[in-house]
Amino acid sequence: MDVDFAFLSDAAQESGGKLHAIGIGVDGMVATEVPAARPLLAVVVQVRYSVAEIGQKELAIRVVDADGGNVIPPIDSLAEFGEPQPGMSGVARYVIELAGLAFPHYGDYAIHVAISGHEVANLPMAVREPA
């Protein structure tokens, strides 16, 4: 399994075999007070896989602070890796929208994405005070 890309954005959706995203590359925010709320944060990941990897996989999302504590309850779900077209690799696209996410204090955070226990993305997110 290979990661084509993974990023945070203001909004995203998958439609017709394509990803559409707005505000790609979010990695921080400035907040005048904490907890700092973010109305929507989209986690976007695309992976390629071989026929040896088809089947159901565990998909896990964790939003953690600098000490590794969960900011929100872990998100665990199942993802289906279907059989690819003959002669092609499979492509799995995930858009996980985190609505109303609140960061409890200033500092560094990360969004971790794992498939079947293997981390495929570690996306940093910082919350800073105004200069």
Model confidence pLDDT, tens digit, residues 64-123: 999 999 999 999 999 999 998 887 889 999 999 999 999 999 999 999 999 999 999 999
Q: What is the pTM of this model?
A: 0.92
Model confidence pLDDT, tens digit, residues 34-67: 999 999 999 999 999 999 999 999 999 999 999 9
Structural domains of the chain in order of their starting residue, each with its CATH number = 2-128 (2.60.40.10)
Nearest in space to 8 (alpha carbons), one of 82, 68, 63, 90? 63
